[in-house]
Amino acid sequence: MAQHLPPDAPVASLTDCAHIRMHLDAFADGELTAFDAHDHPLTELVGAHLRVCEPCARLEHALQSLRAALHALGRREQVTERASDALRRRVAQLLASR
């Protein structure tokens, strides 16, 4: 996807969107620890890009939302699992009391 960044944008932000998006998932997870070819932390590179590139910033926001949703879903599944554990115990009790 071609992006037209302002000519005075920081050099780091001139990295193309496809490259930034490869790292966006890890960035949103706070797990981006790699460095680029010039020893700049990729978090800085991606952060600088997100400040000047609205589509990528929106995507990062969507990833954060997705992450929050998955987190909430994960919690709900834990609750469900606890419920089914209790149910299994109850069934076992019922079977044992026959």
Pick 18 or 91: Cβ nearer Zn ion: 18
* Cβ 24 to Zn ion shortest distance, Å: 9
Pick 17 or 63: Cβ nearer Zn ion: 17
What residues make contact with Zn ion under the rule CB under 5 A? 17, 53, 56
Pick 48 or 53: Cβ nearer Zn ion: 53
Contact 28, 67 (CB under 8 A): yes
Q: How many beta carbons lie within 10 A of that of residue 35, not counting itself?
A: 12
Phi-psi category of residue 39: left, alpha or beta, with phi > 0 → left and psi -120 to 50 → alpha? left
